[in-house]
A and B are shown apart, each in its own frame.
Chain A
Amino acid sequence: MLFDSNIFFAQLVSVDYMRGAALSVAVAIVSLILATVIGFFMAVGRTAKQPYLRAPAHFYVWFFRAIPALLVLLIMWNALPQIIPALRADWFSPFIAASVGLGLVEAAFMSEIIRSALLSVDDGQGLAGRALGMSPAKVMVKVVLPQAIRIALPPTGNEFIGLVKYSSLASVISLRELLTTAQVGVNITFRYAEYYAAAIVYYLVIVSILSILQGLLEKKFAWTSKSAKSKKSTEATVPAPMGIS
């Protein structure tokens, strides 16, 4: 049985694979957003002076770093609906369970990334912001975060790629993401090479697109007048009182 390129190409352009790939990416996006939000608060908690803020943040990171993602997904999908009746409703889909489960686990890792990014911003920055009369929240949003994001961007890109791959774990809770799609096909046709090769191509394409997007994003954070021009050329050239526009 040779590699049948017809089967390979048929799968490559099949709706099943595209839907599977889209699901994988969607799970990764949703869980990364969730992880970033939770991770931010955990990072702030861990750098806080107050012990009642530090302790829960520590506990969270300690807990979710220890538990395998697979186990979290199984708990999300099987155990939680038994305990919480509301989760037995239709809206609680494998997609939501997978996104939330992976997001909770990933938050522990994102909090580390965000914490070190926040710490890497020079103390003088906060000092300068406060000296102007900015509130602590304003200093965080307008001064510290933009600088921390630049630091956190490359490792976050890596985490995102990891999440795309981790989304395949969701096969255990019957989410038909990319790898499950391949596996289901294989179980029917036994064309292992063709189906797996198609999956490989999808993963490669997804990660390549991500890398390109990440590169573009990092350029935006170059903080030079050149990068700014392409961003908002109109605003940068507005002369003072009466615009020539």
Chain B
Amino acid sequence: MTQQPILQVRDLHKTYNGNQVLKGVEFDIEKGQVKAVLGPSGSGKSTMLRLMALLEPADSGQILLKGSRIGSREHKGKSVHLSERTLAIQRQEVGMVFQRFNLFPHLSAVRNVMLGLTSVKGISHHEARIQARDMLQKVGLDNRADHYPSELSGGQQQRVAIARALVMNPSVMLFDEPTSALDPELVGEVLEVMENLAESGMTMIVVTHEVRFARRVANEVTLFDGGVIVEQAEPEEFFTNPQHERTRKFLSHVH
């Protein structure tokens, strides 16, 4: 397989008020692959995803999507931030699913899914509604289209949030602990949607504590700790024969 990786992350650094959170993150992901990211709390996993979703600028480093740099550009040997307008266009390529869903509470489920289509892609209301309904059906919620977020369970809300991101037709989907805010009995329905998505060939990066999901669905599992990727391996290898002491320690806590 000599295919170019769909997403490449190079030497990503980020510091918040002197607190160095990302210290040179590097990885590739190939089209259709699912990467599960494990790691202790506060290690910078969400920060890494926010940078990849272009919601915050990196201090240094590069993100390449399909070989082209996104989020920043080179100018006279220096990395400069892009305009908000350019960033907004690039963000459509990267779908993001948040831990706390972040659905728009003032819009019904179908309108949550439509908003990106109508207000970003400029698709007509009528057409957007058809596409949004379609996407809600894919996550098993066509019968909840007109419900508002406050009328949906956590699992249903997260599935709407997945549909909202998917309908923009992104190249990569990022998930930030998509099930950790859910009651245990609601985790399964969200993981199932994600598993179907993985099977359909979507490229996914999933920050999660769900070891079983990582083992079954991911092509590659990553341990993220102290602002860097510590270990990266196929699931079997990662869980049965980790190379690093820190991975072994982490796994002994979650198992």
Contact = CB atoms under 8 A, between A and B. Distances in A.
Nearest to B110: A236
A181 B95 CA distance: 63
B165 A131 contact: yes
A124 interface: yes
B146 interface: yes
A133 B116 contact: yes
B85 interface: yes
B148 A228 contact: yes
A124 B130 CA distance: 27
Interface in A168-227: 221, 223-225
B55 interface: yes
Contacts of B8: none
Interface of B: 50, 53, 55, 84-85, 88-89, 91-92, 94-96, 98, 100, 102-106, 108, 115-116, 119-120, 129-130, 133-134, 146-151, 161, 164-165, 168
B146 A223 contact: no
Contact of A236 (B102, B108, B164): B108
A7 interface: no
Contact of A134 (B88, B106, B108): B88
A241 interface: yes
A147 B106 contact: yes
Most chain A CB atoms below 10 A, which of B104, B134, B168: B104
B98 A127 contact: yes
20 contacts: A124-B98, A124-B102, A125-B104, A128-B98, A128-B102, A128-B103, A128-B104, A128-B161, A128-B164, A132-B115, A132-B116, A136-B84, A147-B104, A150-B106, A225-B108, A225-B151, A228-B146, A236-B108, A240-B133, A240-B134
Given A133-B88, A133-B89, A142-B115, A223 B168 contact: no
A58 interface: no
A168 to B, nearest CB: 37
A51 interface: no
A81 interface: no
Contacts of B119: 134, 138, 142
B105 A133 contact: no
A138 B53 CA distance: 18
Nearest to B161: A128
A173 to B, nearest CB: 41
A223 B105 CA distance: 7
Contact of B88 (A135, A224, A236): A135
A238 B100 CA distance: 30
A237 B110 CA distance: 11
Nearest to A145: B106
A237 B108 CA distance: 12
A146 interface: yes
A236 B92 contact: no
